[in-house]
Protein backbone atom coordinates (compact mmCIF):
# COMPACT_ATOMS: atom_id res chain seq x y z
CA UNK A 1 0.00 0.00 0.00
CA UNK A 2 1.48 3.39 -0.96
CA UNK A 3 1.82 6.38 1.37
CA UNK A 4 -1.30 8.16 0.06
CA UNK A 5 -3.43 5.07 0.64
CA UNK A 6 -1.96 4.63 4.12
CA UNK A 7 -2.63 8.29 4.99
CA UNK A 8 -6.29 7.85 4.03
CA UNK A 9 -6.52 5.11 6.68
CA UNK A 10 -5.41 7.40 9.54
CA UNK A 11 -7.99 8.91 11.91
CA UNK A 12 -6.53 11.66 14.10
CA UNK A 13 -8.00 11.77 17.63
CA UNK A 14 -8.75 15.44 18.43
CA UNK A 15 -8.66 15.02 22.22
CA UNK A 16 -8.37 18.47 23.79
CA UNK A 17 -10.41 20.87 25.91
CA UNK A 18 -8.86 23.96 24.28
CA UNK A 19 -10.95 25.27 21.35
CA UNK A 20 -8.04 27.09 19.67
CA UNK A 21 -5.99 23.92 19.81
CA UNK A 22 -8.92 21.91 18.45
CA UNK A 23 -9.25 24.31 15.50
CA UNK A 24 -5.50 24.27 14.89
CA UNK A 25 -5.50 20.46 14.76
CA UNK A 26 -8.49 20.47 12.35
CA UNK A 27 -6.64 22.88 10.03
CA UNK A 28 -3.39 20.96 10.35
CA UNK A 29 -4.55 17.37 10.04
CA UNK A 30 -7.85 17.67 8.14
CA UNK A 31 -6.23 18.11 4.72
CA UNK A 32 -3.53 15.52 5.47
CA UNK A 33 -5.37 12.42 6.75
CA UNK A 34 -8.53 10.51 5.83
CA UNK A 35 -10.56 10.98 9.01
CA UNK A 36 -10.84 13.36 11.98
CA UNK A 37 -12.06 11.81 15.24
CA UNK A 38 -14.19 13.92 17.58
CA UNK A 39 -14.29 12.18 20.94
CA UNK A 40 -16.09 12.61 24.23
CA UNK A 41 -13.81 15.35 25.54
CA UNK A 42 -14.50 17.65 22.59
CA UNK A 43 -18.15 16.69 22.00
CA UNK A 44 -19.24 17.09 25.62
CA UNK A 45 -17.66 20.56 25.62
CA UNK A 46 -18.67 21.95 22.22
CA UNK A 47 -21.28 19.57 20.79
CA UNK A 48 -22.19 19.77 17.10
CA UNK A 49 -19.92 22.84 16.65
CA UNK A 50 -16.93 20.51 17.03
CA UNK A 51 -18.26 18.25 14.26
CA UNK A 52 -18.89 21.26 11.99
CA UNK A 53 -15.38 22.61 12.61
CA UNK A 54 -13.79 19.23 11.82
CA UNK A 55 -15.90 18.80 8.70
CA UNK A 56 -14.89 22.25 7.42
CA UNK A 57 -11.26 21.09 7.31
CA UNK A 58 -11.36 17.38 6.73
CA UNK A 59 -12.87 14.54 4.86
CA UNK A 60 -14.71 12.01 6.95
CA UNK A 61 -15.85 12.46 10.57
CA UNK A 62 -15.54 9.81 13.27
CA UNK A 63 -17.79 10.61 16.24
CA UNK A 64 -16.39 8.52 19.10
CA UNK A 65 -19.19 8.69 21.68
CA UNK A 66 -19.11 5.03 22.78
CA UNK A 67 -22.88 4.95 23.32
CA UNK A 68 -24.29 2.43 25.82
CA UNK A 69 -27.95 2.65 26.93
CA UNK A 70 -31.31 0.99 26.33
CA UNK A 71 -31.98 0.29 22.62
CA UNK A 72 -34.55 3.07 22.18
CA UNK A 73 -32.25 5.75 23.64
CA UNK A 74 -29.24 4.59 21.63
CA UNK A 75 -31.33 4.53 18.44
CA UNK A 76 -32.30 8.17 19.08
CA UNK A 77 -28.69 9.19 19.66
CA UNK A 78 -27.60 7.35 16.50
CA UNK A 79 -30.26 9.21 14.50
CA UNK A 80 -28.94 12.52 15.87
CA UNK A 81 -25.33 11.64 14.97
CA UNK A 82 -26.47 10.46 11.53
CA UNK A 83 -28.21 13.79 10.92
CA UNK A 84 -25.09 15.65 12.07
CA UNK A 85 -23.26 13.99 9.19
CA UNK A 86 -20.95 11.68 11.12
CA UNK A 87 -19.40 8.96 8.94
CA UNK A 88 -18.45 6.65 11.82
CA UNK A 89 -20.03 6.36 15.28
CA UNK A 90 -19.04 4.12 18.19
CA UNK A 91 -21.33 2.17 20.52
CA UNK A 92 -20.36 -0.35 23.23
CA UNK A 93 -20.72 -3.98 22.14
CA UNK A 94 -21.44 -4.75 25.83
CA UNK A 95 -24.89 -3.15 25.33
CA UNK A 96 -25.92 -6.47 23.78
CA UNK A 97 -27.57 -7.64 20.55
CA UNK A 98 -30.82 -5.67 20.85
CA UNK A 99 -28.95 -2.42 21.44
CA UNK A 100 -26.55 -3.11 18.55
CA UNK A 101 -29.45 -3.96 16.21
CA UNK A 102 -31.30 -0.78 17.21
CA UNK A 103 -28.14 1.27 16.52
CA UNK A 104 -27.58 -0.39 13.13
CA UNK A 105 -31.19 0.17 12.05
CA UNK A 106 -31.17 3.82 13.12
CA UNK A 107 -27.97 4.37 11.11
CA UNK A 108 -29.96 3.81 7.87
CA UNK A 109 -26.67 3.01 6.09
CA UNK A 110 -25.65 6.67 6.40
CA UNK A 111 -23.27 6.28 9.34
CA UNK A 112 -20.99 3.31 10.00
CA UNK A 113 -21.72 1.86 13.44
CA UNK A 114 -18.52 0.62 15.09
CA UNK A 115 -18.85 -1.59 18.16
CA UNK A 116 -16.20 -1.04 20.82
CA UNK A 117 -15.23 -4.50 22.08
CA UNK A 118 -13.10 -4.62 25.23
CA UNK A 119 -11.43 -1.34 26.18
CA UNK A 120 -7.66 -1.65 26.23
CA UNK A 121 -7.32 -0.77 29.93
CA UNK A 122 -9.32 -3.91 30.91
CA UNK A 123 -7.46 -7.09 31.83
CA UNK A 124 -8.67 -10.50 33.03
CA UNK A 125 -8.73 -9.29 36.61
CA UNK A 126 -10.89 -6.23 35.91
CA UNK A 127 -13.23 -8.40 33.82
CA UNK A 128 -13.43 -10.83 36.76
CA UNK A 129 -14.45 -7.95 39.06
CA UNK A 130 -17.42 -7.47 36.72
CA UNK A 131 -18.33 -11.14 36.89
CA UNK A 132 -16.90 -11.85 33.42
CA UNK A 133 -14.70 -14.91 33.80
CA UNK A 134 -12.96 -14.84 30.45
CA UNK A 135 -9.85 -13.22 29.02
CA UNK A 136 -10.04 -9.93 27.08
CA UNK A 137 -9.03 -11.51 23.74
CA UNK A 138 -11.75 -14.15 23.87
CA UNK A 139 -14.38 -11.63 24.96
CA UNK A 140 -13.33 -9.17 22.23
CA UNK A 141 -13.69 -11.95 19.62
CA UNK A 142 -17.19 -12.97 20.72
CA UNK A 143 -18.37 -9.36 21.03
CA UNK A 144 -17.02 -8.50 17.57
CA UNK A 145 -18.88 -11.53 16.19
CA UNK A 146 -22.06 -10.34 17.93
CA UNK A 147 -21.59 -6.87 16.44
CA UNK A 148 -21.29 -8.34 12.93
CA UNK A 149 -24.40 -10.51 13.43
CA UNK A 150 -26.30 -7.45 14.72
CA UNK A 151 -25.64 -5.45 11.56
CA UNK A 152 -22.79 -3.21 12.75
CA UNK A 153 -20.38 -1.98 10.09
CA UNK A 154 -17.33 -2.83 12.15
CA UNK A 155 -15.59 -3.10 15.50
CA UNK A 156 -12.89 -1.27 17.43
CA UNK A 157 -10.18 -3.61 18.69
CA UNK A 158 -6.55 -3.74 19.74
CA UNK A 159 -4.19 -3.94 16.73
CA UNK A 160 -2.85 -7.15 18.27
CA UNK A 161 -6.32 -8.73 18.07
CA UNK A 162 -7.01 -7.58 14.50
CA UNK A 163 -5.45 -10.53 12.64
CA UNK A 164 -7.44 -13.10 14.64
CA UNK A 165 -10.68 -11.16 14.19
CA UNK A 166 -10.07 -10.64 10.48
CA UNK A 167 -9.85 -14.41 9.92
CA UNK A 168 -13.38 -14.82 11.35
CA UNK A 169 -14.85 -11.56 10.08
CA UNK A 170 -13.95 -10.86 6.44
CA UNK A 171 -14.35 -7.46 4.76
CA UNK A 172 -16.48 -5.40 4.29
CA UNK A 173 -16.68 -5.68 8.12
CA UNK A 174 -14.40 -2.87 9.34
CA UNK A 175 -11.68 -3.23 11.97
CA UNK A 176 -10.61 0.01 13.64
CA UNK A 177 -7.51 -0.01 15.84
CA UNK A 178 -6.17 2.58 18.30
CA UNK A 179 -2.76 2.09 19.96
CA UNK A 180 -0.70 2.96 16.88
CA UNK A 181 2.91 4.06 17.35
CA UNK A 182 5.83 4.56 14.91
CA UNK A 183 7.86 1.84 16.64
CA UNK A 184 7.89 -0.14 19.86
CA UNK A 185 10.64 2.19 21.12
CA UNK A 186 8.49 5.34 21.28
CA UNK A 187 6.22 6.37 24.18
CA UNK A 188 3.12 4.19 24.41
CA UNK A 189 1.48 6.73 26.81
CA UNK A 190 -1.35 4.78 28.49
CA UNK A 191 -1.81 2.32 25.62
CA UNK A 192 -0.97 -1.16 26.87
CA UNK A 193 -0.46 -2.94 23.56
CA UNK A 194 0.70 -1.03 20.50
CA UNK A 195 1.53 -1.74 16.86
CA UNK A 196 2.95 0.19 13.92
CA UNK A 197 0.88 1.36 10.94
CA UNK A 198 2.30 -1.45 8.78
CA UNK A 199 1.62 -4.11 11.41
CA UNK A 200 -1.98 -2.95 11.91
CA UNK A 201 -2.66 -2.81 8.15
CA UNK A 202 -1.07 -6.24 7.61
CA UNK A 203 -3.32 -7.58 10.37
CA UNK A 204 -6.35 -6.41 8.38
CA UNK A 205 -7.22 -3.10 10.06
CA UNK A 206 -9.14 -0.62 7.88
CA UNK A 207 -8.81 2.52 10.00
CA UNK A 208 -6.05 3.41 12.47
CA UNK A 209 -6.72 5.85 15.31
CA UNK A 210 -3.72 8.01 16.22
CA UNK A 211 -3.80 10.76 18.82
CA UNK A 212 -0.86 11.98 20.86
CA UNK A 213 1.96 10.83 18.54
CA UNK A 214 0.60 13.38 16.02
CA UNK A 215 -1.25 16.01 18.06
CA UNK A 216 1.52 16.38 20.66
CA UNK A 217 4.41 16.19 18.18
CA UNK A 218 6.79 19.14 17.91
CA UNK A 219 6.90 18.63 14.15
CA UNK A 220 3.56 17.02 13.13
CA UNK A 221 4.54 16.60 9.46
CA UNK A 222 7.71 14.73 10.42
CA UNK A 223 5.74 12.67 12.96
CA UNK A 224 3.17 11.69 10.31
CA UNK A 225 5.96 10.73 7.90
CA UNK A 226 7.70 8.68 10.59
CA UNK A 227 4.45 6.97 11.52
CA UNK A 228 3.69 6.03 7.91
CA UNK A 229 7.24 4.81 7.31
CA UNK A 230 7.27 2.57 10.43
CA UNK A 231 7.56 -1.09 9.56
O1 LIG B 1 -2.84 7.65 20.07
P2 LIG B 1 -3.52 7.91 21.39
O3 LIG B 1 -3.12 6.91 22.45
O4 LIG B 1 -3.40 9.33 21.87
O5 LIG B 1 -5.07 7.64 21.02
C6 LIG B 1 -6.03 7.66 22.00
C7 LIG B 1 -7.38 7.67 21.32
O8 LIG B 1 -7.80 6.32 21.00
C9 LIG B 1 -8.42 8.24 22.25
O10 LIG B 1 -9.25 9.10 21.48
C11 LIG B 1 -9.17 7.05 22.75
O12 LIG B 1 -10.53 7.34 23.04
C13 LIG B 1 -9.06 6.07 21.59
N14 LIG B 1 -9.25 4.68 22.02
C15 LIG B 1 -8.32 3.98 22.77
N16 LIG B 1 -8.52 2.67 23.14
C17 LIG B 1 -9.65 2.06 22.81
C18 LIG B 1 -10.60 2.76 22.05
C19 LIG B 1 -10.36 4.06 21.67
O20 LIG B 1 -7.28 4.50 23.12
N21 LIG B 1 -9.83 0.80 23.16
In this predicted structure, what is the pLDDT of residue 231? 58
The class (CATH top level) of 3-229 is: alpha beta
- Residue 39 Cα to ligand 1 midpoint, Å, equals 9
**pLDDT per position as a tens digit, 121-155:** 888 999 999 999 998 899 999 999 999 999 999 99
Q: Where are the chain's structural domains?
A: 3-229
**Cβ-proximal residues to 198 (8 Å cutoff; 6+ apart), any chain:** 230, 231
Tell me the pTM. 0.95
- Rounded to a whole number of angstroms, the CA Rg of the chain reads 17
User: Whole-angstrom Cα distance, residue 39 to residue 46?
Assistant: 11
- Helices 136-149 and 159-168: angle between axes, nearest 10 degrees: 50
Q: What is the pLDDT of residues 174-231, one digit of tens each?
A: 999 999 998 866 667 766 678 999 999 999 999 999 999 999 999 999 999 999 986 5
Protein residue with least CA distance to atom 15, ligand 1: 178
Ligand 1 atom closest to Cα of residue 209: 8
Higher pLDDT, 27 or 193: 27
* Alpha carbon of 189 to ligand 1 centroid (Å): 10
Catalytic residue among 28, 32, 45, 66: 66
| Closest to 179 measured CA to CA, from 149, 148, 140 | 140
pLDDT value for 121? 81
37 carries an active-site annotation = no
pLDDT in tens, 38-65: 999 999 999 999 999 999 998 899 999 9
Tell me how far apart the alpha carbons of residues 144 and 163 are, in angstroms, rounded to a whole number. 13
Q: How far is the CA of 177 from the centre of ligand 1 (A)?
A: 9
Q: Which atom of ligand 1 is nearest to the CA of 191?
A: 3
Amino acid sequence: MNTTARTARIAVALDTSDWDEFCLWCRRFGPRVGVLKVGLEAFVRWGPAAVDEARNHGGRIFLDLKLHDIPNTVAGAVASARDLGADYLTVHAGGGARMLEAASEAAEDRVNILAVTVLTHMDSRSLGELGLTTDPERLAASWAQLAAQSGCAGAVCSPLEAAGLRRRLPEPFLLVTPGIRSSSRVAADDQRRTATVAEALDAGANLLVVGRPLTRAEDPDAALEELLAGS
